[in-house]
Every structure is written in C-alpha cells, then in structure tokens.
Structure 1
C-alpha cells in the first residue's frame, strides 16, 4: 500500500512538473492562441468624440513587438473617434487587426489634408477583419475637393491605405462615406480582399472603392461597392490582378487606368482578370482609359468575362482620348499607350446608351489583338437597337454579337 502511495505521489509530482513546463513553453511560444492587445486597456474610449489615435498606436506597438507567436490588436464594439494614424512594421510575427466597433474620422478641416486616415506600412502577414465600420465622415470634406478645376489641389485622406504590405488578408469590413478613396493598395504583394462592403453617394467626388497601383498578385472577391467614382481602379504597376464576384453600382465601373499621364515613368498594367461581376446603373461598365496626349506605356493581357450589365451607360469601353480636365483638346492628340491582348467574353445585359460597345483606340498606337466573344447587350432607350463603334482597332469577333460587332 505504501509503495502504491509513493508511486501515486511521484506520478502527481511529475504531472505538476510537466504542466508547469508546458505552461512556460506556451507562454514563450504563444501556443496556438494569439495574444490580444485590447485598445481599451491602452486608454481608448468608445464615446465617439475622444481622439483615440494614441491608444490605438500604443496597442499596435505592443502587438507588433510581440515575439512569441501571433498577436491581435482588438477594437471591441462601440464608437471610436480616430485622427490620422499609421501602423508601421515590420513586426516580430503575424499580426491581426480586428475591428468590431465603428471607427469615425475627424470632421475638423485642419486635419483633412493628408493622404491617409488609417494606414498600414511595411507589414508582412497582416490580417484586417472584424465586421466593423470605417466611417470617413466624407460630407464634411467633399466641398474641399476641387481637383477637377484646381491643379494644385490638396489631397484628402484615403480611408485605409496599405503601403508595402505583403502576404496579407483584408476581409469582412464595411467602409462608408470616405473623404477620398475607401481602400488604396500601393506596392503590395500577395494580398486578398473579400467580403468588403463599400458605400458612398453617387455624387461624392473621387471616392474610388478600391484603388490598386504598383502591386502584384492581388485578389478581390465577393465585394459590394456603391460609390461616386470607380468601384475598382487599377493604375500603373498593377500586375496579376484577379477580381471576381464584385457587385458594382452606383459608380464609374471597373477601370484600368488612366495610363500615360506621367512624362517620366513608363506606366504599365498587365495580367488583369475580371470575372463573374455585376454592374448596375454605373457610368461605365468595364473600361480601359489612357490620356491623350500621353507618354509611351503598356496595357496588355486583360480579360473581362461573365459580366452582367444592368442599365449601364458604357458597358464596354476603351477610351484612348481620356482627358477630364478643363481646357482639354484630346481630339487634337494621340495616346502613345499600347493596348494589346484584350478579351471581352460572355458579357450581357442592358445599355443605357445607344453605343453599347465603344472601342476608341489611338491613331499612332492602334489596339492589337482585341477579342469580342459572345456579347449580348441591348439598348433600353429610344432610337433603335444598340450599336458598336470601333476605331484604330485590330482584332476579331466570335460567337454572338449583339450589337453587331465592329471588329
């Protein structure tokens, strides 16, 4: 009996020692559970009026410095006012930014003129999610947007910027009433965005939904975007972009460009696929736009397919005489952007303009290898059926062509 008791005591002691060792190891490695850094423990107040920028920054710094596994910056439910803030890396490990509450931007004009509201820079392995709201409080700033008439206009802040961010995911977020673009990706690689809901009035200026530039291997999926500018815009340096399951409208459509404005850099967009999207009541459908005049640049290997147009003004458009600024005379100039290897396939629905297919290319750099495959777009206005218009294009039509193809 005494021997059995001794054995039992040794087993219990061994379990205690093992448990202590296990706990120590879990604390050192972070175990399988991430460590949470709640912004309220750093002084954040969910009263909708206190500036919480410092509290958010402190929570980010601690989470970014965590060396023992995954870390989480956690914003619980409530309404938090936040001035412009940047969360910088690199971090010691993977980091997640969870937004459960509502973040509100400032309405103080003295704080408007910057390129960001919330920014992430130089972070690898970032996840931003949570189902919360980003409220840019755009109506307070839109009257200051005079860029269409003022070449020296000051910038207004993008709601959420990602600069030099890699191997990251952004999902289940809602952005409303941005002062400028809602989301901006610059110099990012291997990023996935999904389940994003974006909303701003149709007449809100320059409120692009998702703006992508100098970035590669970007996936956007299952997003609903209603805004006052392009739902998604891909500008110079966009490479290997895949967009699917996007509902767009109101807005200016899904656009590549504008390209060719810079006098010093050859602007390039290549390898873009837009698939399984719906555009409703938009100013444009799928669009490629280049400046005239412009510097030599390239837009190539672009595919638009399985896209439903509902009452869209310009369902399919290539515009190489793009010049929205005052005193433009783009008809007197030619674009030097070479557009090639573009496919429009299985695009159907209704056009609110008579010219449902409008491919207007450059006289000195004609579009090359443009394909129209199974196009079925009807005009929903008066004055006869829809028509197509092509100029300076080299390409072919295949399958159903309604309106009759111009290639």
Structure 2
C-alpha cells in the first residue's frame, strides 16, 4: 500500500512537467533543418498550425544555433490558443531577390492572431535587402507584417537589412513594441523601421532604429499612438504621413524623449499637396537633435501626387515642445502649410543652433499658432 501511495505522489509531481512538453512546438520537430540553405518554410508552417490549433498557452520555438532560410510565410489565425508565445532564439534569413518564391508582400505575415507575444531575445531576422535595393522600381517585400493582431506584444526583436519596411503594423489594436533593434544603411531605399497604419492604441518604446527612411511612420487611420525613448539615426526621423491619397486621418500621436542623430528629418508631418483627411492632436516633446537637417518640418507639398478635387489635408493641434540640439545646415524650423493653412501650432521651449556659417532660422507659409521661448526666432507664425 505504501509503495502505491509513493508512486502516486511521484506521478503527481512529474505529470505537470510532462504536460508542459505538449505546449512547446519546436520547428526542428516539424522538419526544419536550419542550415541557411534548405527552405524551412513548410516546417515553420506545420509547427505554426500545431501551435495555433493547441489549447491553452502554447509556445512556438525557433531555437538558437540554427539559421533558418524562409520564403514568403503566412502565419494565420484565429487560433484556439488563449495566448501564443513565439520565441525567436535563432536566426531567420530571407532568400536573395533572384531566389525569392511567392508573393512580395512580406517575408513573414502574421494575420488575425490575438494575444500574441513575440520574444526575439537572442534572435535575428535578416531581410537580405541588399539584393533588392538596386532595383528601384521592383515591388519589394517588407520583412514582418502584423495584420489585424490585437493585444500584441513584441519585445527584444532585432531585424536588419529589410528590402522595404522592417515592421508594418496594420489594423491592429492594443499593441506594444519595446526594445526593438533595427539596422539598415542610410542609403537603403524605403527601409522604414516601423510603419503604423489603420491601428489604435499602439506603443513603440525604448528602441534603436537605423534606416534609410522613416524610423517610425504613423499613417492613415491611426489613433492613439505613443512613441517614446527612440534613438533614431541614420534615417528620416519620426513622421506623420504621408497623408492625402485617401481620406487619411491621424489623431492623438504622442512622441516623447526621442533622439535624432544625423537624420535627414526630425519631427515631420508630410501630406500631399491636394488630398483629403486630417492630422490633429499631435505632440513632439523632449527631443534631442544632433546635426539633423530638418529638425521640425510640416510639409504639405510632399511628393508629386495630386488629386484634382481634393480640398487639402487639415493640420491642427500640433505641439513642438522641448527641442534641444543642432541643425545640420540651419533649416531648424520649416512650417510649409497648404492652402487650408495649419492651425493651432505651438512652438515652446525650443533651442536649435547651427554653425556660425549657416545660422539656424525659421520658415513659415500659412502657418498659424503661438511661439514661446523659441530659438531661432519664429515670428513668421501667424496668429
């Protein structure tokens, strides 16, 4: 009798351990090779289907010490699992342009997966963008797209050399991105760090982004986006837009405690000359500048796209506060507004200097608002 009781206790103790094994889905167990030469896409897809179909809180494991070559991969929900964790510990690489198989939307698309966490600690995704960049007019893929993924958390993820944008967040709600590390050369075309479109309640924080285009871009249909603690450079700064091709609306964007180091732009709002939509309740504050070419820029003459019957994108309620640092060639503040004008613009506690040969200056066109404690002087801002 005593032996039966002892055996029962042992089984009770170890059964949770055995049970937890079923919650881990290692891509190696589904046929992945990880030699950087074999296409492991089908193995990843099989592992995903098992993970997504599991009950409870499964984990998809991409293990360390392997390099996984993937072609265009779609990880699709909805899933049975309550929450899902993807642990990227190894390296994922994209094929060269000439070896690309499938659509050119993205390397990895994650669609309609709720309560997903992506932990990239120790891992890396390499988009092999150098094989795409010389082809200026080729349709180039993003590296990672999250589409309609609500209650999303992505942290400690490193992505390098995307053919186009590194991360695209579309149609998502309540998503947080933290400790993201993105690198691409300054001359790599259209390699945005993180793009946000048609999304709500998005947080991007404590990350380092080096790219050939916008470090972060918030575009049409996005509301309540917080961007804090971003070290940007090289790149094109943090942008609202471009807006105006459709009835684009961006509201309640808060950018704080970010740095722009030798970037082409700093805090930027860009709209097409004739279009539809609005950008309002936008704040940039506590910004550090190091030789930024256009530290503060509203550009309503962006690009060459025109709509014959567009009334113009409305810009209002924009705050630029607490900017400190240097302009590359003196163009410290540029408020180039369209025919509707920009309204309720605030410049406060700004100190931007430049070299003695090219003193910092402010330029305004049809911009209305208030100025306090701002260098350079910006008396061109209309009431």
Q: Same fold (TM over 0.5)?
A: yes
Judge conservation of contact 1:377–1:402 (CA < 8 Å) in 2: yes
- Taking structure 1 as reference, are residues 321 and 21 closer, same or farther at Cα in structure 2, changes over 3 Å only? same
- Superposition deviation, residue 108 in structure 1: 4.1
Aligned counterparts of 1:271 and 1:182: Cα–Cα separation in 2: 24
2:248 to 257, 267, 284: 267
> Which structure has the larger Rg over C-alpha atoms?
1
The CA deviation string for residues 191-219 of structure 1, in whole angstroms up to 9 with x for no partner, is 00011110111110110000100001000
User: Mapping of 1:243-322 within 5 angstroms?
Assistant: 243-262=227-246, 266-294=247-275, 296-322=276-302
Instruction: Give the number of equivalent residue pairs.
Output: 376
- Which residue in 2 is equivalent to 1:359? 335
- 5+ residue gaps, structure 2, are none
- Which residue in 2 is equivalent to 1:40? 28
Aligned counterparts of 1:76 and 1:22: Cα–Cα separation in 2: 28
- Superposition deviation, residue 72 in structure 1: 0.8
Judge conservation of contact 1:276–1:307 (CA < 8 Å) in 2: yes
3-state SS in 2 of match to 1:59: helix
Aligned counterparts of 1:135 and 1:166: Cα–Cα separation in 2: 25
Aligned counterparts of 1:250 and 1:34: Cα–Cα separation in 2: 44
The CA deviation string for residues 166-195 of structure 1, in whole angstroms up to 9 with x for no partner, is 101111111111011000000001100011
Judge conservation of contact 2:160–2:184 (CA < 8 Å) in 1: yes
- Taking structure 1 as reference, are residues 218 and 34 closer, same or farther at Cα in structure 2, changes over 3 Å only? farther
User: Mapping of 1:186-205 within 5 angstroms?
Assistant: 186-205=170-189
Q: Which runs of 4+ in 1 moved over 2 A?
A: 12-27, 108-113, 332-335
- Which residue in 2 is equivalent to 1:149? none
Root-mean-square deviation over aligned CA pairs:
2.2
Judge conservation of contact 1:244–1:276 (CA < 8 Å) in 2: yes
- Superposition deviation, residue 111 in structure 1: 2.2
Aligned counterparts of 2:323 and 2:346: Cα–Cα separation in 1: 12
Judge conservation of contact 2:274–2:313 (CA < 8 Å) in 1: no
- 1:60 matched to 2:48? The reply is yes
Aligned counterparts of 1:342 and 1:62: Cα–Cα separation in 2: 47
The CA deviation string for residues 216-251 of structure 1, in whole angstroms up to 9 with x for no partner, is 100001110001000001110111000000000001
- Superposition deviation, residue 355 in structure 1: 2.1
1:161 to 137, 145, 150: 145
Aligned counterparts of 1:79 and 1:23: Cα–Cα separation in 2: 34
2:62 to 75, 86, 94: 75
TM-score, L = length of structure 1: 0.87
The CA deviation string for residues 287-316 of structure 1, in whole angstroms up to 9 with x for no partner, is 00000122x211000000000010000000
3-state SS in 2 of match to 1:356: strand
